[in-house]
Structure 1
């Protein structure tokens, strides 16, 4: 299985720079495909406007018409998210106005699911609305393979996630601790072990829970959507079983900065992700006792694999030597 992951990494992992905008625009023109960008948003007035403005200025101009539709799906913000997004040039759709006969449930996945009804693009690109220092490369990078390679159906962004605390940014990981001082704690502690153990074909994904990914509508419309934080893991696993590993890809877009959650929120995310995995494990999958992680090198993200501790010691009371000592 490690050989398959390495093969996939060499053939389905790219950098955003690998596909210049001119190439993407020509591929889009020839294919006639349309692109929708969706920002799921809840109380993101501080960041959503800059993201919308960046996409419109970089990818929705007469010279660069890569994105055809930009929708902010508001899931009930109590702040000025909708107003700020609209002023920046997005079409704002309120969650409850989409498919109103089905009462909406709280959760990110619910909003992403309903966005399929609120958009028209052949390719749908999801971008979290809490990103700072946002670059349009996040969109063009992950949409690119879907425009240029008909065999690719689902693309995740990969990036560094510096962990910022109390206004300070932790140093990017060093070679002695490739995962140190980084965001993505739920990824490293929950999602990556789950994927490596139960869906080892997906071990090559650097950011399996990242909120920036793009897919063909023809795939998304066939997948169930967990309504909460389990949506990213659920879609990735189900996409694997629907289009196969070579239908999936990832693109390096650099650095992602966003608001980090507190410990309790991370616990809720972890529980939702575990539940999404639990439901899918009912289908039955093999377990591989190895874990693939990543460090950045001059050539990009490089995988390294370690064995997972699977052995267990019995209770010490069952060990004869221990029992004899206690008796003495």
Structure 2
């Protein structure tokens, strides 16, 4: 049996979690880029149910990654504290990407526990947050918690997890078999102890979730990881060519951790649209060092 413990969100009541929380501070962090249509609902619902009604979450922080729409204003109006990623610790420079937003969040949040949620959720509920906090508040050995859920898509239940099934799961099977019982290793909903995340290197792009899992298992064993069934989740899907860039970042992080390739700051991805002409894009594979060096 895998030492990765599995639970369901309903295993803990809100009252029990509030009691277990005590003086522990909890920050909800929402990385966002051009999500004005959905980020307000994510922030507003959590604030109403878990900040104002039940004191489980102490702050909601949105990290805006170079949005060109109204994401910043919508999130602010909904009750979040909003920071532009590029303006956090400018002395450390800035990189595009989801992982960069998560790494930068360590400099502007106060929580002992950090809960991450994607900003583009369309079918979800606020039980995601207490579900992710359950293991961290009640299982002392756990450092990182991954959510998993059904991900309905237009063409079937796996339509929403293409990179997971075609890239992440094969890499885990071949290189990191201790993690193979994770249902959704790339899930955007996860939680972590602040001190632990600050000790990890963080890829600035989409490899942040896989890297955190691999590094946690390598440092502390897979028993430091738990996963929680959160029910059902739906969100906007990226175009196939954009998923190719995501896959490059995930493969780069995995190979570096397996000792199969030297770390690089970028890779050239050549893709083809209909017709013979190629389209080249530079895919960033930069990794931030552990944030504890700068805190």
TM-score normalized by the length of structure 1: 0.77
In structure 2, the residue matched to 1:253 is 230
Q: Distance in 2 between matches of 1:139 and 1:208?
A: 17
In structure 2, the residue matched to 1:136 is 126
Note if contact 2:43-2:75 (Cα within 8 Å) is conserved in structure 1: yes
Which of 25, 28, 31 is the aligned partner of 2:21? 28
Is the counterpart of residue 119 in structure 1 residue 119 in structure 2?
A: no
Q: Residues 236-280 of structure 1: CA distance to partner in whole angstroms, max 9, x if unpaired?
A: 100111221111000000111000011101111111100000110
Q: Distance in 1 between matches of 2:226 and 2:260?
A: 24
Which of 238, 244, 253 is the aligned partner of 1:276? 253
**What SS does structure 2 have at the residue aligned with 1:204?**
coil
Q: Distance in 1 between matches of 2:58 and 2:135?
A: 17
In structure 2, the residue matched to 1:220 is 197
In structure 2, the residue matched to 1:13 is 6
Is the counterpart of residue 265 in structure 1 residue 255 in structure 2?
A: no
Note if contact 2:123-2:232 (Cα within 8 Å) is conserved in structure 1: no
Note if contact 1:54-1:134 (Cα within 8 Å) is conserved in structure 2: no
Note if contact 2:124-2:232 (Cα within 8 Å) is conserved in structure 1: no
Q: Distance in 1 between matches of 2:7 and 2:260?
A: 31
Correspondences of 1:246-325 after superposition (within 5 Å): 246-282=223-259
Q: Structure 1 residue 134: deviation in Å?
A: 2.8
Q: Distance in 1 between matches of 2:227 and 2:106?
A: 22
Correspondences of 1:105-116 after superposition (within 5 Å): 105-116=95-106
- Choose 1 or 2 for highest CA Rg: 1
Aligned Cα root-mean-square deviation (Å): 1.4
Q: Structure 1 residue 161: deviation in Å?
A: 0.8
Unaligned 5+ residue runs, structure 1? 165-169, 173-180, 285-328
Q: Structure 1 residue 171: deviation in Å?
A: 4.5
TM-score normalized by the length of structure 2: 0.86
Q: Residues 185-223 of structure 1: CA distance to partner in whole angstroms, max 9, x if unpaired?
A: 000011001111111110011010011100001110100
**What SS does structure 2 have at the residue aligned with 1:101?**
helix
Note if contact 1:128-1:211 (Cα within 8 Å) is conserved in structure 2: yes
How many residue pairs were aligned?
261
Q: Which runs of 4+ in 1 moved over 4 A?
A: none
Q: Distance in 1 between matches of 2:159 and 2:121?
A: 16
Q: Distance in 2 between matches of 1:140 and 1:158?
A: 14
Q: Distance in 1 between matches of 2:246 and 2:195?
A: 28
Is the counterpart of residue 41 in structure 1 residue 32 in structure 2?
A: yes
Is the counterpart of residue 51 in structure 1 residue 42 in structure 2?
A: yes
**What SS does structure 1 have at the residue aligned with 2:180?**
helix
In structure 2, the residue matched to 1:102 is 92
Q: Distance in 1 between matches of 2:232 and 2:89?
A: 36
Is the counterpart of residue 244 in structure 1 residue 221 in structure 2?
A: yes
Q: Structure 1 residue 118: deviation in Å?
A: 1.1
Note if contact 1:36-1:69 (Cα within 8 Å) is conserved in structure 2: yes
Unaligned 5+ residue runs, structure 2? 262-295
In structure 1, the residue matched to 2:174 is 197
Correspondences of 1:132-171 after superposition (within 5 Å): 132-164=122-154, 170-171=155-156
Q: Distance in 1 between matches of 2:140 and 2:260?
A: 29
Q: Distance in 1 between matches of 2:191 and 2:79?
A: 21
Q: Residues 272-294 of structure 1: CA distance to partner in whole angstroms, max 9, x if unpaired?
A: 1000001101189xxxxxxxxxx
